[in-house]
């Protein structure tokens, strides 16, 4: 998957390399890429990631800004981040250390010139400018100028970025969240966590090659069973509410208040309970507005839908399995379900080329009679390594249970 086009000056890189007396092979060794990648950079076929851009600047005794070809005084917020050698996830992580909150989506909006409707409660626009300056190691005036230059709206070009504090400027999710009382917020958060758990289970079923359960089924979360708990026990939602001390006679009223606001939908079905037979069961389903409201309350970035070519969690799990197998590779039957058709080289699932992040490599055995293929094992391709390098911080945040980042995927 190719990266979005970003400014880069291939001819400048080639000229600086020759001036420094470096061969393409030597430069590749210094910045830890293949010689082919250096050739691709110099021919303009590929654009270096922010980290590789910084490494190139150091190896060539120049600046990232010169390699990009951006004149001084014309930097955008995206430029400042790239010049600092950071992808957006790394910059967001560093911002969160200074001003706690979710920064990945806020930085993305700033970099494309869109207004940010709300800041984390601990932040104000001047503090954001100061934090960006510290993260990118540039003066605050440079950040402020880049902000003005990036912004597509006149209101952002003032002396200081203005906080969109009016009710009209705020997002619907923020307005919904502010309209809830503390009890309703607790219920919504618990529904959201249960919705996520059901989604993970559905994806695991699909990844294992079993018949997938449609969202119209698994999104309906059991809330209560209209029978004596001595026979039915408590649903996972009820158990979570009991842990928080919120499971009482007012539970139904709270659910219906959320439904009245359009954050959940309430329905009923029947479930068989021994020895009572079939009894009514209440189901709750988060609406799209409800999930957005809960994410806002939890200060979380929305789940991407194939944004920037990101993988689903089950495909990411399979890619991690191959990467973690190291130089020996993963056994041919080590992938789950149909992952090979979407990750492997040479497949065309649904008529579209697969991503080509992994490939089957033969393991050969030499005998007196000749050489034969003993087995095939999965190995990462260069495209697979590049994808992991570029997006690992995002995947670590989205799917922390897959790989926590405490150990490298390869040595």
| CB atoms closer than 10 angstroms to residue 217 | 10
Q: Which of 191, 298, 179, 297 is nearest to 244 (CA)?
A: 191
Task: Let me know: does 384 contact 1? Beta carbons within 8 Å.
Answer: no
User: CB-side exposure of 236: number of CA atoms within 13 Å?
Assistant: 14
Confidence (pLDDT) at 195:
92
Separation CA 246–CA 227 (nearest Å): 19
Q: Which of 27, 40, 10 is nearest to 386 (CA)?
A: 40
Mean pLDDT by 10 residues, the chain (411 residues): 54 86 91 89 84 90 84 84 90 90 83 75 81 92 84 40 38 84 92 89 71 84 88 88 79 89 92 87 92 83 58 86 90 82 79 81 83 87 86 80 60 47
Confidence (pLDDT) at 188:
93
Task: Let me know: does 311 contact 3? Beta carbons within 8 Å.
Answer: no
In order of their start, the domains of the chain are 10-69 (1.10.260.40), 81-157 (no CATH), 184-298 (1.10.10), 307-398 (no CATH)
């Amino acid at each position: 998957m190719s990266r979005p086009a970003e400014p880069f000056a291939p001819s400048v890189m080639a000229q600086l390399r020759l001036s420094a007396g470096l061969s393409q092979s030597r430069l590749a060794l210094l910045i830890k890429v293949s010689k082919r990648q250096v050739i691709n950079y110099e021919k303009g076929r590929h654009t270096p990631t922010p980290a590789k851009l910084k490494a190139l600047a150091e190896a060539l005794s120049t600046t990232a800004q010169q390699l990009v070809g951006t004149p001084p005084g014309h930097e955008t917020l995206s430029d400042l981040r790239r010049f600092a050698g950071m992808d957006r996830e790394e910059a967001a992580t560093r911002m969160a250390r200074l001003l706690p909150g979710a920064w990945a989506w806020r930085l993305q909006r700033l970099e494309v010139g869109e207004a940010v409707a709300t800041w984390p409660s601990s932040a104000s626009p001047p503090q954001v400018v100061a934090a960006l300056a510290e993260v990118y190691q540039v003066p605050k005036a440079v950040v402020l100028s880049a902000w003005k230059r990036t912004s597509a709206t006149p209101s952002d070009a003032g002396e200081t970025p203005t906080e969109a504090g009016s009710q009209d400027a705020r997002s619907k999710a923020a307005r919904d969240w502010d309209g809830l009382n503390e009890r309703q917020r607790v219920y919504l958060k618990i529904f959201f966590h249960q919705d996520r758990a059901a989604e993970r289970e559905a994806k695991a079923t699909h990844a294992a090659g079993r018949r997938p359960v449609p969202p119209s089924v698994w999104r309906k979360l059991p809330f209560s069973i209209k029978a004596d708990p001595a026979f039915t026990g408590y649903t996972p939602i009820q158990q979570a509410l009991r842990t928080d001390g919120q499971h009482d006679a007012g539970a139904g009223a709270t659910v219906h208040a959320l439904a009245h606001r359009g954050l959940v939908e309430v329905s009923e079905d029947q479930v068989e309970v021994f020895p009572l037979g079939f009894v009514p069961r209440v189901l709750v389903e988060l609406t799209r507005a409800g999930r957005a409201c809960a994410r806002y309350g939890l200060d979380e970035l929305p789940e991407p839908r194939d944004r920037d070519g990101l993988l689903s969690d089950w495909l990411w799990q399979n890619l991690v399995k191959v990467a973690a197998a190291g130089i020996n590779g993963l056994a041919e039957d080590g992938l789950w379900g149909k992952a090979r058709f979407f990750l492997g080289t040479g497949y065309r699932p649904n008529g579209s080329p697969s991503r080509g992040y992994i490939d089957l490599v033969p393991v050969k055995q030499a005998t007196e009679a000749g050489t034969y293929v003993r087995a095939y094992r999965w190995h990462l391709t260069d495209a697979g390594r590049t994808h992991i390098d570029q997006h690992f911080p995002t995947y670590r945040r989205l799917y922390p249970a897959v790989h926590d980042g405490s150990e490298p995927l390869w040595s």
